[in-house]
Structure formats: C-alpha cells, structure tokens
Structure 1
Amino acid sequence: MMKKNLLFAVIFSLQLFHGQIVIGGNDISTKNIVKIVDGSKGVILPFSNTYTTFPKYNASATDIFDDYPNLTGSLIYSKNDDQYYKYDGYSWNPARQIQAIYQPKASRLGVSSGITIPCISFGIGFCFAGNTPTYLAADNRSQVLVDNLTLKNTGNVTIKQSGIYDIAVALGFTGGSFGLQAGITEFKMSLQVKYTSTSDWETVVTKTNYSIVFVIDTQGNKTSSFSQTVYLPSGAELRVVPEISSNAISGGSLSAYGTDSNALYSYLAARLIKNY
C-alpha cells in the first residue's frame, strides 16, 4: 500500500511541475524542462578521448558514422581536439567547423560526371582533355554534400547572390601510364568564372601537382586542391578545368587518366562570406 501511495505521489508531482527538473534552486519556469540555477558549478557532459569512441562510429561508412535520427542534437566533448561535437542525425560535426552541412551559407558539391584524359607518348607526351567535370551530384548528407546556397542549375553551377565567396576546389585523378618512359607528369587544375552569360571564361586560380614517372606511373590517386577568396556577381558560372601534360622521354607509351568521383577527393565548395 505504501508503494502505491508513493507512486501516486510521484505521478502527482510530475503533473504539478509539468515534468520539470530544477538543479541548484527552486525557481520553476514553464519555459524549461531542465533548469540549472547554481552558477558556481559546471555541468559535465559526455566526453571522449578520441572520435573513434563516439556513438555510431563506423570506420566503413563514408562519413565514418552511421545515420541515427534519434541522436539528433546530441553533444559530446572531444578531449583530442578540445571542442564539442554535435550529432545531426548523420554524423558528428565539430563546433569550430566553418563549412559543413549545417552551415546555411555554404555548399559542397560532388562530381556527377567525370572525364577521361587519354595521353600518348613517343619522344614527348601529349594529353587530350575534351571537356570538364560536372559538379552536380545529388545532395548526400552522409558524404557531406549539400547545396545550401542553391548553386546547382541544370547543367552548370551558378552564383545566386552577389558577394565575397571562399571557393574551395578539389579534384582527384585516377589511372596511370604504361610503357617505357621517364620524366614528370603535370596535373593542373584551374578554377574558371564566366561572369555574365555573354562573357568568356576567365581563369581565377590554377594549381599544379607533379608526379615523377619512371618506366610505369601507377602511383594511385593524385589530388589537386586549393581555395581562393573572390568576389562573384549574381549569375556568375563556375567550372573546373583539369589538364595533364608530360615531358617524359619515351620510346612509346599509352596513358589514361580520369577524374575521381569520390566526394572525399573531388568537390567544389563555396561559402558566402559577405553579400552585396
């Protein structure tokens, strides 16, 4: 009988205070579920020594975390890099991250269609790039691909709001060369802007990486990346132009390079710093 009375008393108390918990005082507020009054003591939230022990860690997942909507909004402190992480239903995001899926003034676009760059060497090398990769892959929060700035149009990437942007570009190259040769292969990537519908494409910045070739070039992925702060008017189009050249001396060889569509290696990110 005593247990039943205690149960009724607990239920009555919860109804009376609308399920609220007050710590450090007795000031009830209808605006809170949990209220901490004492300002001289802190609250210790869950913490971890490394992100590999975060909930839902999965090394085989694209973003190394499994999707779990019930954890959305959870916080955990990482001792490794001295900051809090927030779970957004897909992965844990660091508090100091300035460009992510929850950043409303940023987009990170993946490659929807890549290109193949064939090369032929006989004495010296020649490579032929006929078009450019397209950064219009579907949004995928698990791969941190989002278009919060709505840059994707049919067939192109277009700036919707005039302002100063931080543009980051990365492009992975796959493939290699086969045949007897020695020298250097140049992997070059340029960010180009078409400021109006009637203007020509203009190169804003170019990044070059090199690969040393001796007999056979099978070093795996080569990635070029850079970031640039630029002013872009509304309606400006963006594209990335890859080029490969070789000064390798060869008695005859064939090469075939392509663009890696993995969002880890190939992406175009834009963050609006200040609009005009």
Structure 2
Amino acid sequence: MKKITLLMVLIFHYALMAQVTIGSDIVSNRNIVKVQDGVKGVILPYSNIYTSFPRYNASAPDVFDDYPNLVGSLIYNKNDEQYYKYDGYAWNPSRQIQGIYQPRASRLGISSGISIPCISFGIGFCFAGGSPGYLAADNRSQVLVDNLLLKNASSVTVKAAGIYDVGVALVFTGGSFGAVAGVTEFKLTLQVKYTPASDWETVVSKTNYSIVFIVDTQGNKTSSFAQTISLPAGAELRVVPAISSTAISGGALAAYGTDTNASSSYLAARLIKAY
C-alpha cells in the first residue's frame, strides 16, 4: 500500500511540474504552456462590451472593483477591437498608455476646493476665491498618481526641466437665485511661476458660459483644456478659477464652488521630453 501511495504522489508531482506544448513536439522548461503554430492563432477570452468584463461595478470610481488576484489577465473587447489588461484596479486598453504606471506622468486630484460668492444689483460681481489645492492623496482606483513627484508640502512644483503636456479640468458647482437675466462666465486659468522670485504668469485660459434667466439652475459647469508648455526645474503650477457676470439684476445672490470629484476635477501633466 505504501508503494502505491508513493507512486501516486510521484505521478501527481510530475503532472504538476510538466510543461504543456501545443503545436510543437519540442518541450521548453522555461514555460508552463508553449504554443507554436505558424498558421493557427490562439483565441483568448473576449467580451462584446466592457460592462461584461470581470469585476465590473458601475458604482466604483473607475467602474471596476479592485482584485489583486486578477493582475495580468487579458480580455478582448469586440466593441472597440482591442485587448485590455487588468492591473489590480481596472481594465486598461492596450492602445492607451497606462497612467498608473507611466513614469513620466502625474494626475493630481483636488485636496481643497474653494467657494466663490457673487452678488448682483444692476450688474453682477463675484469675489475672488483663490486657487484650489491639487494635493489629494494618490489613489490608483481613481487614477490619481504622482509619478513625476510634482506635489510638495503646499504646492505643485516641476522637478525636471522639459516639455510638458498639462491638462486641467474643473467643475463649478452652485448657482444663483433672484431677479437676474444675462450670461455668467466660468473661467479657468493655468498659471506658472517660473522661479521662486518671479510673479505668476498666465499660460492659457478656458471660458464656459451659462445663460441665466431668473434662476440659474443649469447644473454643474465644467471647464477643461490641455496645453503643451516648456517648464524649467522648480517651476510652480496653479489653477485659478474665476466667475464673472454680465447679467442685469434687480438684486440676486449666488454661491459657487469647485467640485473635488477626481473623475471631473484634476490636474494632469506628462513629460514629453526632458532637457
């Protein structure tokens, strides 16, 4: 009985350690599975749409649940005809550079938003609200990473001189109430301080408009843009939101703010070429 048991253990051990070869009679001890055929291909798992992918969760920030045991898995999406790879947090398309592990890119979320109060009597006037802080903690599930190490204790600072693509998106929340009619301007400006002693300089501004009549109830307003810019080491970046109104009013109040949701409010930078 002992001999039979030992034999079964040896056979089972051999089965676990054996290599599987498909399309060839040459076994390689460097692979568990080896596929070799110059005519036929291998069909991997596929899906008709990404909502059928494993770990899909519409309520998750990136619509997929985190699952470390699935890291490295591949699936083909027939809808957009490309493979997706799972990184432990989400499925990433093969035609897109993966932001989480891209060493030359950062995507920063808002750690502190701002409020912009407005008052209208005759014409509108909004008070300066400062600049939101893009120092939120990294969160791979929300694709918030700082691979360029832009975050300092209280500022966003470029560490390496080079040419950068900088993208900014910000959601304005709130609205107005009162007897008012006209247009409200939502403006987003990227500014750079090239040296610690220099002043802030405007690089680019983006403006969206909201038509107001009696009550501004059109929901959140989003401003976004991308700009290629040359930056020296030590340059600081900031985003300045502003609101102005050309509305005519007999008296109205408004309260606006900035949304801190990472899916719609962020600052992203990618190093294209280092100097």
TM superposition score normalised by structure 1:
0.94
For structure 1, list consecutive stretches of 5 or more residues without a partner in the other structure: none
1:14 counterpart residue number: 15
Provide, for residues 218-266 of structure 1, a one-character-per-residue CA deviation record: whole Å limited to 9, x for no partner.
Answer: 2111000000111111111100010100000100000010000001110
Q: How far 1:37 sits from its partner (Å)?
A: 1.6
Asked whether the equivalents of residues 50 and 80 of structure 1 are also in contact (C-alpha less than 8 Å), the reply is yes
Greater shift in the superposed pair: 66-75 or 94-103: 94-103
Secondary structure of the structure 2 residue equivalent to 1:52: helix
Opposite residue 14 of structure 1, the aligned amino acid is A
1:246/1:99 Cα in 2 relative to 1: closer, same or farther (>3 Å)?
A: farther
Distance of 1:173 and 1:19 partners within structure 2: 60
Distance of 1:229 and 1:87 partners within structure 2: 30
2:91 counterpart residue number: 92
Provide, for residues 48-95 of structure 1, a one-character-per-residue CA deviation record: whole Å limited to 9, x for no partner.
Answer: 111100000011111111111100111111111111111111111111
Secondary structure of the structure 2 residue equivalent to 1:45: coil
Pairing of 1:84-233 with structure 2 (within 5 A): 84-98=83-97, 100-233=99-232
Q: How far 1:4 sits from its partner (Å)?
A: 7.9
Distance of 1:138 and 1:200 partners within structure 2: 28
1:270 counterpart residue number: 269
Q: How far 1:8 sits from its partner (Å)?
A: 5.7
Q: How far 1:13 sits from its partner (Å)?
A: 3.7
Distance of 1:223 and 1:12 partners within structure 2: 61
Distance of 2:265 and 2:107 partners within structure 1: 10
1:166/1:220 Cα in 2 relative to 1: closer, same or farther (>3 Å)?
A: same
Distance of 1:6 and 1:92 partners within structure 2: 44
Distance of 2:118 and 2:97 partners within structure 1: 39
Secondary structure of the structure 2 residue equivalent to 1:261: coil
1:39 counterpart residue number: 38
Distance of 1:208 and 1:194 partners within structure 2: 22
1:234 counterpart residue number: 233
Opposite residue 139 of structure 1, the aligned amino acid is D
Opposite residue 39 of structure 2, the aligned amino acid is S
Opposite residue 253 of structure 1, the aligned amino acid is A
Opposite residue 24 of structure 1, the aligned amino acid is G
1:78 counterpart residue number: 77
For structure 2, list consecutive stretches of 5 or more residues without a partner in the other structure: none
Provide, for residues 175-218 of structure 1, a one-character-per-residue CA deviation record: whole Å limited to 9, x for no partner.
Answer: 00010110000000010011111111111110000000011002
The CA RMSD measured in Å over matched residues stands at 1.8
Q: How far 1:139 sits from its partner (Å)?
A: 0.5
Distance of 1:98 and 1:182 partners within structure 2: 46
Distance of 1:53 and 1:21 partners within structure 2: 30
Identity of aligned residues (%): 73
Distance of 2:23 and 2:6 partners within structure 1: 28
Asked whether the equivalents of residues 187 and 209 of structure 1 are also in contact (C-alpha less than 8 Å), the reply is yes
Distance of 1:20 and 1:237 partners within structure 2: 55
Opposite residue 150 of structure 1, the aligned amino acid is L
Report how many residues are paired. 273
Secondary structure of the structure 1 residue equivalent to 2:75: strand
Distance of 1:80 and 1:101 partners within structure 2: 24
Opposite residue 37 of structure 1, the aligned amino acid is Q
TM superposition outliers: structure 1 runs of 4+ over 4 Å: 3-10
Distance of 2:8 and 2:139 partners within structure 1: 48
